[in-house]
């Protein structure tokens, strides 16, 4: 069941996502060679305490950390570890959310570790742009699959592939609500988009093939072929005036 939000609820979610964006941008700014993914997780948890918000992921279905940190071929849900030391040329996906006043916020960004290859830089650019195009398609009267198709069209036009096992989602008083938002599809199908719909749109894009595998930890997903993967996400509200990026535009995201 799709739950539409009132203007007041969207304002609360905007405040929540502003905290998400600010903390995520700060964590992304600390990414550099020799930092561990556990270092980044500790920073995010400390910033949650300072901001008076609850981390959305820690304890969710047993997930052990505040951040998801996915390095290179890891697609999503990488578990931070003191043994995972970032090195020059890596890319790392940072996925993060909080709960504030009973509402969830969720966002992700993939950032370079020092100087990266042109191949990796192009992958990040295309994935970020596919998110922008997906958000732009979230307008009243259009269909849910128009978002999906916009992402897929841009990604595949550059020779990359979209992950199919993981999708975006509705968000509100629960982290994951209806509807699911795939990053692929035929335009003009699915539910009609209406004002009050709040979605977390999150392209996951692979340099190689789309197939993924789950690690023995039960969480980390990686590309089967070992190719690089990038992940960007923002929570948005459909309004009568078009899509509203919750939390606003924040430098670094």
Q: What is the pLDDT of residues 121-147, one digit of tens each?
A: 999 999 999 999 999 999 999 999 999
pLDDT attached to residue 11: 98
Q: Which two tokens stand for residue 211?
A: 């197939």
Closest CA to 86 of 20, 16, 32: 32
pTM here?
0.97
pLDDT attached to residue 56: 98
pLDDT attached to residue 253: 78
- Nearest 5°: CA angle at 174, between 170 and 180? 25
Total count of residues recorded for the chain: 253
Distant-in-sequence, close-in-space partners of 174: CB < 8 Å, separation ≥ 6? 104
Closest CA to 151 of 136, 165, 170, 166: 136
Name beta bridge partners: 204: 231
DSSP class of 61: G
- Residues (pLDDT < 70) of the chain are none
pLDDT attached to residue 163: 98
pLDDT attached to residue 250: 77
- Tell me the C-alpha distance between 171 and 160, whole Å: 27
Closest CA to 66 of 30, 103, 99: 99
- Enumerate domains of the chain plus CATH numbers: 7-245 (3.90.230.10)
Q: What share of the chain is helix, strand, coil (3-state, %, to 5)?
A: 30, 30, 45
Question: Are the C-beta atoms of residues 101 and 243 closer than 8 Å to each other?
Answer: no
Q: Which two tokens stand for residue 183?
A: 């990053």
Q: Which two tokens stand for residue 231?
A: 């992940």
């Amino acid at each position: 069941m799709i739950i539409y939000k009132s203007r007041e609820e969207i304002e609360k979610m905007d405040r929540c996502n502003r905290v998400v964006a600010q903390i995520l941008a700060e964590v992304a700014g600390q990414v550099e060679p020799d930092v561990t993914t556990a270092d980044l997780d500790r920073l995010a948890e400390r910033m949650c305490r300072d901001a008076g918000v609850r981390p959305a992921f820690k304890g969710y279905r047993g997930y052990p950390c505040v951040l998801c940190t996915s390095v290179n071929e890891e697609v999503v849900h990488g578990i931070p570890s003191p043994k995972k030391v970032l090195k020059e040329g890596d890319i790392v996906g940072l996925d993060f959310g909080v709960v504030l006043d009973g509402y969830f916020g969720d966002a992700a960004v993939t950032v370079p570790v020092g100087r990266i290859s042109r191949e990796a830089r192009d992958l990040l650019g295309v994935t970020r742009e596919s998110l922008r195009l997906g958000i732009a398609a979230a307008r009243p009267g259009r269909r849910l699959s128009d978002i999906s198709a916009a992402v897929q069209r841009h990604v595949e036009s550059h020779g990359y592939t979209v992950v199919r096992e993981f999708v975006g989602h509705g968000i509100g008083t629960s982290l994951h609500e209806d509807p699911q938002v795939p990053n692929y599809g035929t335009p003009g199908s699915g539910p009609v988009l209406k004002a009050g719909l709040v979605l977390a749109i999150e392209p996951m894009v692979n340099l190689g093939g789309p197939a993924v595998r789950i690690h023995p930890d039960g969480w980390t997903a990686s590309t089967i072929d070992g190719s690089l993967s990038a992940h960007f996400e923002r929570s948005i509200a459909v309004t009568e005036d078009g899509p509203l990026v919750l939390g606003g535009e924040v430098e670094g995201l």
